[in-house]
Amino acid sequence: MSIDADIYKRVVAAKMYIDDNLHEPIKLEQVSQQACFSPFHFHKLFTRIYKKTPHEYLTQVRIEAAKKMLGQQGASVSQVCMNVGFESLGSFSTMFKKKNGVSPQVYRNSALERRKAADEQPEIFIPHCVLSRYEGTE
């Protein structure tokens, strides 16, 4: 059974609302209102289209945003947690480790080490096939 283009657009608009507001507390009722559906109907449609629940999607985009922030100098793990919309450091750390296999601090340390290595020796991050193509062209 296919989904009507108008319905699909409304669900996509609600997904974009999640993307734009991931740092805020988001309730299913708010998101479903963006698509002009009841929470139950929206949940069912969203899950059918994206193959994950709205909550699973929100968690995914928050974790991805956190990974980007953790890979940069500056904000502490606590600040990253709050900036991506988690309400507590404990829930953030637990979910982050569940999704990535390491704690946010371990991820941050590893990302910063990779960035430092890339700055010091960029050639080790370039695939050999690319380097060999350009050897001797200078």
Domain's final residue, options 24, 51, 78: 51
Closest CA to 103 of 81, 74, 118, 84: 81
| Interval 32-36 mean pLDDT | 94
Q: Are residues 81 and 111 in the same domain?
A: yes
Q: Are residues 77 and 126 in the same domain?
A: yes
Name the least confident of 69-83, 90-104, 118-132: 118-132
Sign of the alpha-carbon torsion through 118, 119, 120, 123: positive
Q: Are residues 137 and 111 in the same domain?
A: yes
Place 136 in a pLDDT band, splitting at 50, 70 and 90: low
Which domain CATH number covers 114?
A: 1.10.10
The C-alpha atoms of residue 61 and residue 111 are separated, in whole angstroms, by 19
Q: Are residues 80 and 118 in the same domain?
A: yes
- What residues make up the domain containing 128? 66-138
Q: Are residues 46 and 70 in the same domain?
A: no
Q: Are residues 34 and 71 in the same domain?
A: no
- Please indicate, yes or no, if residue 58 is contained in any of the structural domains: no
Q: Are residues 74 and 132 in the same domain?
A: yes
- Please indicate, yes or no, if residue 59 is contained in any of the structural domains: no
- The alpha helices in the chain, defined as continuous H runs, are 5-20, 28-34, 39-50, 54-70, 77-83, 89-100, 104-120, 128-134
- Please indicate, yes or no, if residue 117 is contained in any of the structural domains: yes
Average pLDDT, the chain: 90
